[in-house]
Amino acid sequence: MKQDRKEKGNVPNLRFPGFEGEWETVKIKDFGTIVTGNTPPTNDTENYGNDYLWASPPDLGISKYITYTKTMLSVKGFKKTRKIPQGSILVTCIGIIGKMGMATKDMTTNQQINSIVVDSNFDYDFVYYAINSQISKYLSFVSQQVVPIISKSVFEKLNNHSTFIEEQKKIGRLFSLIDDRISTQNKIIEQYKSLIKGITDHILKGEKANIKLNDCVICNSSSLTESEFEGSKGLYPVYGATGIIAYTSKYDVEEDSILVIKDGASVGRVQYVTGKYSAIGTLNYLTAKKNFSLRYIYYLLRCFNFDKYKVGSGIPHIYFKDYGNELIYCPPIQEQNKIAQALSLIEEKFNTEKDILKAYSLQKEYLLQNLFI
């Protein structure tokens, strides 16, 4: 049985073999020098170019390593900012708090980011993950203004913990390997996603459209509301704009369908569902007419341009009476089935790789909670 940390002292729940003793309580400023970024004058276009990375919040939180920024600086612009070296830890402290990254070369940031230039007696990978493990706790120090902020003076005094440099390196190396694997996994997923899109794009754009969508599918509507299923229980799923929103003992549909979000921010997103289910009124569900493969139509609709059919100045809507008149390409049913089967096999692999990514992410989260204090 694990002992409570209060009983066993200032040590993490998990440790590499051979390491003993309590960890030291430190402030973020003890890890190194804190640098708040700045912005060179934007009215001088010569400050901007392609020579140096200049990070802003949208550039962080994508992956650990900062190798690209949406805005780059010229040599002239870079000289007007506060340089941070390779290995520095970047943390957003204005706006969306807690997004992180690590500098891969000399670079700079805007004023929404505080960076830790890590001292030589700390392992910079360890520092990165030590801060990452505490982000949720640091959010309680956010100043609730119009724009959320953790000031530099507050940021540098936030508590953390440290250990012997040898243990730091072990921990930093482990998490770096996990993040490298997560990065690789994301690339694999993107390749499968691109492959599916490439094939369907070829069908949509490479072949001459020969039939209207409404000649291939039947559009069905629902008058059900989400509130009708509050507290409901059962075997059959109820679908809404966010996916399954409830389970119930009754169902309205008993055939494969394509769910299409017809109202709201996610308008036009499609999902293939099977079995017995119900759907609320924010969705249309499409079923296949004779001699048409619903799976084939589903893959085409994943790359379908619904934007031109959106109406409404506030909440966007799409109507089947409009987008149902769109011409698409449908070969004979045998070829539809072959294409759908091939794409389904790729999608199965895609979903398997997503499950693997989720497992790595959960493993990382567990270790962050247990290898740090």
How far is Cα 151 from Cα 143, in angstroms, rounded to an integer?
A: 8
**137 and 173: one domain?**
no
CATH of the domain at 91: 3.90.220.20
- Which tokens is 58 given? 């949208």
pLDDT at residue number 146: 82
**pLDDT of amino acid 144:** 76
Judgement on whether residues 33 and 148 belong to the same structural domain of the protein: yes
- Shared-domain flag, residues 169 and 35: no
Counting the structural domains of the chain, the total is: 3
pLDDT tens, per residue, the chain with 373 residues = 344 444 567 999 999 999 999 999 999 999 999 999 999 999 999 999 999 999 999 999 999 999 999 999 999 999 999 999 999 999 999 999 999 999 999 999 999 999 999 999 999 999 999 999 999 999 999 987 788 999 999 999 999 999 999 999 999 999 999 999 999 999 999 999 999 989 888 887 788 999 999 999 999 999 999 999 988 999 999 999 999 999 999 999 999 999 999 998 899 999 999 999 999 999 999 999 999 999 999 999 998 999 999 998 788 999 999 999 999 999 999 999 999 999 999 999 999 999 999 999 999 999 999 999 9
pLDDT at 2: 42
pLDDT for residue 4: 45
List C-alpha distances in Å: 47 to 104, 113, 337. Answer: 22, 19, 56
Indicate whether 143 and 38 sit together in one domain. Answer: yes
Report the candidate in 95, 140, 129 with the shortest Cα–Cα distance to residue 114.
95
Where among 137, 162, 187 does a domain terminate? 162
The model's pTM: 0.81
Tell me, yes or no, whether 30 and 157 share the same domain: yes
Shared domain for 235 and 148, answered yes or no, is no
CB atoms within 10 A of CB 29: 15
Q: Could you tell me if residue 32 is left (phi over 0), alpha (psi between -120 and 50 degrees) or otherwise beta?
A: left
* 95 and 112 within one domain: yes
In this structure, the answer to whether residues 71 and 81 fall within a common structural domain is yes
Cα 143 from Cα 97, distance rounded (Å): 11
Select from 105, 136, 162 the last residue of a domain. Answer: 162
Is there a single domain that holds both residue 338 and residue 198?
Answer: yes
pLDDT for the residue 8: 60
Return the pLDDT at 6.
Answer: 46
Whether residues 233 and 305 share a domain: the answer is yes
Task: Give Cβ neighbours of residue 245 (< 8 Å, ≥ 6 apart).
Answer: 226, 229, 238, 239, 280
User: Residues with Cβ < 8 Å from 15, sequence gap 6 or more?
Assistant: 167, 371
Of 152, 150, 154, 126, the C-alpha closest to 12 is 126
Long-range contacts of 88-91 (CB under 8 A, 24+ apart): 88/35, 88/115, 88/116, 88/117, 88/118, 88/124, 89/31, 89/115, 89/116, 89/118, 89/124, 89/127, 89/128, 89/131, 90/55, 90/60, 90/66, 90/114, 90/115, 91/60, 91/115, 91/116, 91/131, 91/155
* Cα–Cα distance list, 146 to 97, 113, 136, 137, 142 (Å): 13, 18, 20, 21, 12
In angstroms, the CA 273 to CA 135 distance is 38
Q: Which CATH number do you get for residue 345?
A: 1.10.287.1120
Asked whether residue 201 falls in the same domain as residue 175, the answer is: yes
Q: Longest Cα pair distance anywhere in the chain, in angstroms?
A: 74
Q: Which domain holds residue 7?
A: 1-19+165-207+331-373
266 in the same domain as 195: no
Supply φ then ψ for residue 150, to 5 degrees. Answer: -115, 110
